[in-house]
Amino acid sequence: MRTLQVALAERSYDIHIGAGLLSTFPLADKVRGNQVMVVTNETIAPLYLEAVTSRLSHLQCDTLVLPDGEKFKTLETLERIFDALMARGHSRTTTLIALGGGVVGDMVGFAAACYQRGVDFIQVPTTLLAQVDSSVGGKTAVNHPRGKNMIGAFHQPSLVLIDTDVLDTLPERELAAGLAEVVKYGLIRDPAFYAWLETRSAKLLSRDREALSEAIYRSCLNKAEVVADDETEQGNRALLNLGHTFGHAIETATGYSEWLHGEAVATGMLMAVHLSAELGWVESDLIGRLRDQLHAWKLPTAVPSSMTPARFMELMALDKKVQNGRLRLVLLRALGEAVVTADYDPQALQRTLEAFC
Ligand code: NAD
Ligand code: ZN
Q: What amino acid is encoded at 8 in this protein?
A: L
Q: What is the tens place of the pLDDT at every residue in 162-194?
A: 999 999 999 999 999 999 999 999 999 999 999
Residues 143 and 180 in one domain: no
CATH number at residue 316: 1.20.1090.10
What pLDDT is attached to residue 179?
98
Domain final position from 120, 145, 166: 166
Last residue of a domain, one of 166, 181, 196: 166
Question: For the whole model, what pTM was predicted?
Answer: 0.97
In the set 41, 143, 222, 241, the catalytic residue is: 241
Q: Could you report the per-residue pLDDT of 109-131, keeping only the tens digit for each?
A: 999 999 999 999 999 999 999 99
Q: Which atom of ligand 1 is nearest to the CA of 166?
A: 18
Which residue is catalytic, options 73, 223, 274, 321?
223
311-355 pLDDT, tens digit per residue, is: 999 999 876 667 667 799 999 999 999 999 999 999 999 999 999
Range of the domain at 298: 172-356
Separation of alpha carbons 160 and 16, rounded Å: 6
109 and 206 share one domain? no
> Do 182 and 160 fall into the same domain?
no
Q: Specify the ligand 1 atom closest to the Cα of 69.
A: 3
Distance between CA atoms of residues 255 and 251, nearest Å: 6
Q: Quick one: how far is CA 349 from the chain centroid?
A: 26
Active site residue 311: no
CATH no. for residue 57? 3.40.50.1970
Query: Do residues 215 and 69 both lie within one domain?
Result: no
Residues 331/270, Cβ–Cβ less than 8 Å:
no
Element (H, E) at 248: helix 244-253
Q: What is the ipTM of this complex?
A: 0.99
Query: Which of 156-165, 261-270, 317-326 has the least mean pLDDT?
Result: 317-326
CA of 179 to the centre of ligand 1 (A): 13
pLDDT at 272 over 90: yes
Which residues partner with 16 through β-bridges?
Answer: 3, 161
Tell me, yes or no, whether 109 and 160 share the same domain. yes
* Mean pLDDT, rounded, for 183-212: 97
Last residue of a domain, one of 166, 201, 231: 166
pLDDT at 326 (0 to 100): 78
Query: Is residue 180 domain-shared with residue 319, that is, in the same domain?
Result: yes
Residues 199 and 124 occupy one common structural domain: no
Return the pLDDT at 321.
66
Question: For residues 177-195, b (16+ Cβ closer than 10 Å) or e, as one string?
Answer: bbbbbbbbbbbbbbeebbe
**Lowest-confidence region among 103-107, 181-185, 199-203, 326-330:** 326-330
| Domain identity same for 144 and 220 | no
Active site residue 295: no
Catalytic site includes residue 237: yes
Q: Which of 244, 274, 321, 328 does the annotation list as catalytic?
A: 244
Q: Are residues 63 and 202 in the same domain?
A: no
